[in-house]
């Protein structure tokens, strides 16, 4: 088989055979196919698309390109959750203990943040002593003992995806539904979960700018799940403003504790109850998402969810008293710089990408993989969509160590707010569930 023929076939819009798709993935991983041919093939896929069958074969070939995690040492239906990337998205910090408190085991491997989006592992590490690297046996034993563990992604998971993603990033071929769907699902399948809940975001801070694009991506991923025998449900959710009010590692842990304690911002709590409902139903502990939601509400009201978070923190080396004394035990930046509204009106949206980039420039995130982060700093959104503001009102607060460069960032943040004279219409947080 010759790569040039496979490129030509894809360019003409024809469906590739399973052998041809596997030939590409194997050649990419072994290095036998040069980057210029892989890039040409990726561009052909961008223009010509892939059928559901081709996408499933590509996904499995990528999942099989490295280690497959065997979770059979953990009892029960193992669930994984994935978000296609958001700003202020601390749902894993809430959902892992919340769902575990309802009896569904959560063995979660998460990543670090890069660019404008944050990472669960960085957030957890803002708690002093919290270990995110555990030996596999310890990870399994902890899930069997307390029902939950969250650790950093380790091992050689889907190396074909790493290689393809690096090329996509520099060849303008990221935005292709079969390529995104296979990239996400190959990693989830290799990570070993029985069932997968996907949160597919759309809006200014997301890959998918419209609900329709997000729905097409969700359908492609659910179809892959069906094809490979992993129950998959996708929620299509709004990212036209960051989630919750806190963007920054320790600040997000604090907000997660608030939600687990029955407080916290409405949008974040609502999304967690909705996503958590589907997770508990997928985990077989409730007959449907509505019954599951009642279980989650009860776990919050009874304090079981917060206790489970404290157990998780203690099991991984942190101080469980963080749930009672977050102000004392989480790092704080010390200085608050207000961001003022330039005009009167209503907040219609907050550009999530700009907010994420501002938090990154403050030191909460990384521009490059090797950058060190400051867990204490971040952005607090005082006003959100629908709020009425007057010129000079505080829209947001920068949590900083000192005021160096803060004025410029405050101006950028003010520009991220879309303020108009009329009140905005209602905009549902959860647009649709695809299952």
Query: Which residues bind to ligand URA, rule: CB under 6 A?
Result: 84, 165, 174, 179-180, 183-184, 207
Helix (H, G, I), strand (E, B) or coil at 82: strand
Nearer to ligand URA, 188 or 384 (CB): 188
Is 168 among the catalytic positions? yes
* Shortest Cβ 181–ligand URA spacing (Å): 8
Give the separation between CA 316 and CA 312, rounded to whole angstroms.
6
Is 187 among the catalytic positions? yes
Q: Do the Cβ atoms of 10 and 54 come closer than 8 Å?
A: no
Nearer to ligand URA, 38 or 84 (CB): 84
Pairing of strands 417-420, 378-381: unpaired
- Catalytic hit among 78, 81, 112, 168: 168
294: number of Cβ within 10 Å: 13
Give the separation between CA 391 and CA 404, rounded to whole angstroms.
25
12: number of Cβ within 10 Å: 9
Backbone angles phi, psi at 105, to 5 degrees: -65, 135
Is 161 among the catalytic positions? yes
Nearer to ligand URA, 46 or 184 (CB): 184
Nearer to ligand URA, 178 or 363 (CB): 178
- For residue 186, what are its two tokens? 């190959």
For 57-193, strand residue ranges (E) read: 79-83, 106-110, 148-152
Residue sitting closest to ligand URA (CB): 183
Is 278 among the catalytic positions? no
The residue among 261, 294, 301, 300 whose CA lies nearest residue 280 is 294
* Shortest Cβ 110–ligand URA spacing (Å): 12
- Catalytic hit among 65, 149, 183, 186: 183
Nearer to ligand URA, 159 or 331 (CB): 159
* Shortest Cβ 182–ligand URA spacing (Å): 8
Is 375 among the catalytic positions? no
* Shortest Cβ 345–ligand URA spacing (Å): 34
Find tokens 């609502």 and name the residue.
270
* Shortest Cβ 240–ligand URA spacing (Å): 19
- Catalytic hit among 187, 201, 215, 399: 187
* Residues identified as active-site: 82, 161, 168, 183, 187
């Amino acid at each position: 088989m010759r790569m040039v023929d496979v490129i030509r076939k894809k360019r003409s819009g024809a469906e590739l055979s399973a052998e041809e798709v596997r030939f590409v993935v194997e050649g990419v991983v072994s290095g036998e196919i040069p980057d210029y041919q892989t890039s040409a093939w990726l561009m052909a896929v961008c223009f010509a698309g892939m059928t559901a069958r081709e996408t499933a074969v590509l996904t499995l070939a990528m999942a099989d390109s490295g280690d497959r995690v065997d979770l059979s040492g953990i009892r029960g239906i193992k669930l994984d959750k994935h978000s296609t990337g958001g700003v202020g998205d601390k749902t894993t910090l809430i959902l892992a203990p919340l769902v575990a408190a309802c009896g569904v085991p959560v063995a979660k491997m998460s990543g670090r943040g890069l660019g404008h989006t944050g990472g669960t592992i960085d957030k957890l590490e803002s708690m002093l002593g919290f270990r995110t690297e555990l030996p596999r046996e310890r990870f399994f034993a902890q899930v069997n003992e307390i029902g939950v563990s969250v650790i950093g992604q380790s091992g050689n998971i889907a190396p074909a995806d790493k290689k393809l993603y690096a090329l996509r990033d520099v060849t303008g071929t990221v935005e292709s539904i079969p390529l995104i769907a296979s990239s996400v699902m190959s990693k989830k399948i290799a990570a070993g979960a029985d069932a997968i809940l996907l949160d597919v975001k759309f809006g200014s801070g997301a890959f998918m700018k419209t609900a329709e694009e997000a729905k097409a991506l969700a359908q492609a991923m659910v179809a892959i799940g069906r094809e490979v025998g992993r129950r998959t449900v996708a929620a299509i959710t709004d990212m036209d403003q960051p989630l919750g009010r806190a963007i920054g590692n320790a600040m997000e842990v604090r907000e997660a504790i608030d939600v687990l304690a029955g407080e916290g911002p409405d949008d974040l709590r609502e999304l967690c109850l909705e996503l958590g409902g589907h997770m508990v139903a997928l985990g077989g502990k409730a007959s449907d998402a509505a019954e599951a939601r009642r279980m989650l509400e009860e776990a919050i009201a009874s304090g079981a969810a917060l206790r489970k978070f404290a157990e998780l923190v203690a099991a991984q080396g942190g101080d469980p008293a963080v749930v009672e004394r977050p102000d004392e035990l989480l790092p704080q930046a010390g200085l608050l710089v207000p961001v003022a509204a330039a005009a009167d009106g209503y907040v219609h949206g907050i550009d999530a990408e700009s907010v994420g980039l501002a938090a990154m420039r403050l030191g909460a995130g990384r521009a490059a993989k090797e950058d060190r982060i400051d867990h204490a700093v971040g952005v607090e959104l005082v006003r959100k969509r629908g709020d009425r503001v007057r010129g000079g009102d505080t829209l947001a607060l920068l949590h900083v160590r000192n005021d160096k460069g803060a004025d410029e960032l405050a101006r950028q943040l003010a520009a991220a707010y879309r303020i108009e004279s009329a009140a905005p219409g209602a905009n549902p947080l959860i647009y649709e569930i695809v299952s």
